[in-house]
Amino acid sequence: MQKQLNNKVIWITGASSGIGNAVLHRLLESGAIVIASSRKIDALQSLTTKYPQRLILISVDATDRESIYNCIDQISNRFNHIDIVILNAGNCVYFNAENFNVEILHKNFSLNYFGLALCIEASLKLLKKSVSPQIIGMTSAVAYLGLPTAEGYGAAKAAARYLLQCLQSSFKKDNISVSIICPGFVKTPLTDLNSFKMPFIISADKAANYIIRGIVNKQPEIAFPFRLVILFKLLNMLPSRLRIYLLSKLVSK
């Protein structure tokens, strides 16, 4: 299946660790030509020895317009198109509703929503030159359900999911396929910081397998693991009073 990505020109953000790094390895193994971006790009230098012709490293701050457009200019100077953009860069700053703080909302939205949107804006001109362009956007399973303590992160991911859903229809006429990644808990350096229990947690390698399969099949939604996604969707279908009661118990524990 991964052979379908052979020689595809792919730009991936947030490639230095976690899910992004696991996906990067799968892409390189598949024969893709990958432009890997991250603020911590030095962590990927060793891979350039193994894949000198197919891995290009470009440092990018995905919250900064100038940095993003500089990256796209570098890609444009080397290639005349991008086949696939995988917008994986993200952060998570937890929210204490008792001490409501809009600055925390800004921190979450800056990268998870506006960063993703800036990358789409900047890459469109090169995507439109591809025979079969794809946009792959990272959101979260938390976007299905308003969870306590996820007010900032969840809201940003839900906004990103809504934006990508809109673009799935809007870009249909341009033949641009849009896929939305909605992962549950994945073991990464980011989730290692969590102090709460994470049900159905999976490895970054397993998450990468789901994502690569979804990219190849052009799945509109790449949601995993199945049990957690179904749980969140079912909880969101409950009568509002019951849903609020059950989720409030999480806060009181």
pLDDT in tens, 62-95: 999 999 999 999 999 999 999 999 999 999 888 7
- What is the predicted pLDDT for the residue at 92? 86
User: In this model, does residue 120 exceed pLDDT 70?
Assistant: yes
**What per-residue confidence (pLDDT) applies to 72?**
98
247 and 147 Cβ atoms separated by less than 8 Å: yes
Band (pLDDT 50/70/90 cuts) for residue 96 is confident
What is the per-residue pLDDT for 101? Answer: 87
Q: Residue 252: what pLDDT?
A: 56
Q: Which residues pair with 182 in a beta bridge?
A: 223
Residue 220 predicted with pLDDT over 90: yes
Q: What's the rounded Cα separation, in Å, for the pair 195 and 211?
A: 26
pLDDT for residue 88: 97
Query: Span 201-213, mean pLDDT?
Result: 95
The pLDDT of residue 2 is above 80: no
pLDDT at 168 over 80: yes
Q: Strand runs (DSSP E) across 67-142, as ranges?
A: 84-87, 134-138
- The answer to whether 23 and 2 have CB atoms below 8 angstroms apart is no
- pLDDT score for 95: 78
Cβ neighbours of residue 68 closer than 8 Å, sequence gap 6 or more: 60, 61, 62, 118, 119, 122
Judged against a pLDDT cut of 60, whether residue 50 lies above it is answered with yes
Please state, in angstroms and rounded to a whole number, the distance separating the CA atoms of residues 83 and 10.
6
Residues in CB range of 84: below 8 A, 6 or more apart: 5, 8, 9, 10, 11, 133, 134, 135, 136, 215
For the chain, state the CA radius of gyration.
Answer: 18
Q: Is the pLDDT of residue 253 over 70?
A: no
Q: What is the pLDDT averaged over residues 197-224? A: 94
